[in-house]
Amino acid sequence: MIRYCKRCIMPETKPDLYIDEEGVCAACRSFEQRMEVDWADRKQKLLAILDRYKSVNGGNYDCIIPVSGGKDSHFQTIRMLELGANPLCVTASTDMLSDIGRHNIENIKKLGVDYIEVTTNPVVRRKINRLGLTQVGDISWPEHVTIFTIPVRIAVQMNIPLIVWGENSQNEYGGPAGAAENDVLTRRWLEEFGGLLGLRVSDLVGQDGIESQHLMQYTYPSDEELARVGVTGIFLGYYVPWDGYSNALIAQAHGFRTYNKPVEGSLINYENLDNVQTGIHDYFKFLKFGFGRATDLACLHIRRGRLSREDALKLVKMHDGKFPWVYLGVPIEDVLEDIGMTMDEFVKVCDRFTNKKLFVCDSRGNLVKDRDGNLTKVNYDNVE
């Protein structure tokens, strides 16, 4: 039986998510605490930090904003410009960039900022996508590495100490309390929560013809380099109220483009619009842990009072964890062909990473799938 938070619908199978004796998860508790935050005080603290890091005589940028082009990136950039900062926006190019993703990156530039896009070798990238998928069940592994390493490398190279990240995902989505209260991103944070899943960058050397020279952009600067520049980071979500939905409204008012319907496997049309591989990434989360993007979003909206728990359960049953035949309108065959994998191979990898305890199996212990390849969870809510 899968146990769920009584307040939202997150299962306890989510990594690092603790559900307390009252049946409430750490993410819901963390949100409770946000109600008591003195936001005026936090804003003063933010202004003091920005003042401390302001470039003397405008000779350099005041900070780096790591951006993907999404709604949160728009919000970060808009807020920082409002606060008088002169930021350098940095994008670590995503795996299979969609047309909407490209539009939205160009739109951030038009907000009035200097911008760097760093694209890693796509031939090597596809190999790493495949290795990530087959070895740790995450096609997006290289993306999750480079969104953390590339902005930090630029910070070192260009002598810009302050990096303004978006939200602390451990705070919004739950996690160990020590990490949730951390407003600085460190190398340790990357290694623990940055999504490496036990596959180290150095492990790739020698596989599939990958050499260490291909992995520069995947490598975090050394402690000496970080110390020389004094690189530090803050989570903007710690200092200003943060809500993905309102970020999307603000972003849209500034030209951000959304999908023409809810994204496949999700409940909304305003996020994860840039990488066509994300459908596969989210599906593997479902296979491993029994929840997908629809559950994540339902929980965010339940906490903010925009969705009842009862309705959320119905919507999640309808949309969560469906076999990712299409994502952002692109058929899965195209995505698999790009990384050199057949559908048969893919289904085998799926089955290998599926936690059979979470899904209905037949008497011989084989996963039961419907004609669309979809699995059924053993239970969708706590059973009284």
At residue 4, φ and ψ (nearest 5 deg) are: -120, 155
**Whole-angstrom distance, CA of residue 199 vs CA of residue 5:** 30
Q: Residue 222: how many CB atoms within 10 A of its CB?
A: 11
Residues that bind Zn ion (CB under 5 A): 5, 7-8, 25, 28
| Residue 154 or 294 having the CB closest to Zn ion | 294
Min dist CB 10 to Zn ion, Å, is 5
| Residue 145 or 298 having the CB closest to Zn ion | 298
| Residue 8 or 63 having the CB closest to Zn ion | 8
Min dist CB 299 to Zn ion, Å, is 6
Alpha helices in the chain (DSSP H): 26-34, 39-53, 71-82, 99-110, 122-136, 141-157, 169-173, 177-180, 187-193, 223-229, 236-239, 244-253, 278-289, 293-303, 309-319, 332-338, 343-353
| Residue 17 or 80 having the CB closest to Zn ion | 17
Count of alpha carbons within 13 angstroms of residue 245, beta-carbon side: 13
| Residue 25 or 154 having the CB closest to Zn ion | 25
Min dist CB 32 to Zn ion, Å, is 10
Which residue has the CB atom at the shortest distance from Zn ion?
A: 5
Min dist CB 247 to Zn ion, Å, is 21
Min dist CB 12 to Zn ion, Å, is 10
Min dist CB 194 to Zn ion, Å, is 23
| Residue 25 or 147 having the CB closest to Zn ion | 25
| Residue 8 or 180 having the CB closest to Zn ion | 8
Min dist CB 378 to Zn ion, Å, is 20
Min dist CB 242 to Zn ion, Å, is 17
- Report in angstroms the alpha-carbon separations of 13 from 179, 191, 289: 19, 21, 5
Q: Residue 158: how many CB atoms within 10 A of its CB?
A: 14
| Residue 28 or 145 having the CB closest to Zn ion | 28
Tokens of 234: 């803050």
314 Cβ neighbours under 8 A, 6+ residues apart: none
At residue 277, φ and ψ (nearest 5 deg) are: -75, -10
| Residue 31 or 141 having the CB closest to Zn ion | 31
178 Cβ neighbours under 8 A, 6+ residues apart: none
Min dist CB 88 to Zn ion, Å, is 37
SS (H, E, C) 39-67: HHHHHHHHHHHHHHHCCHHHCCCCEEEEC
* Nearest alpha carbon to residue 163 among 111, 107, 216, 220: 220
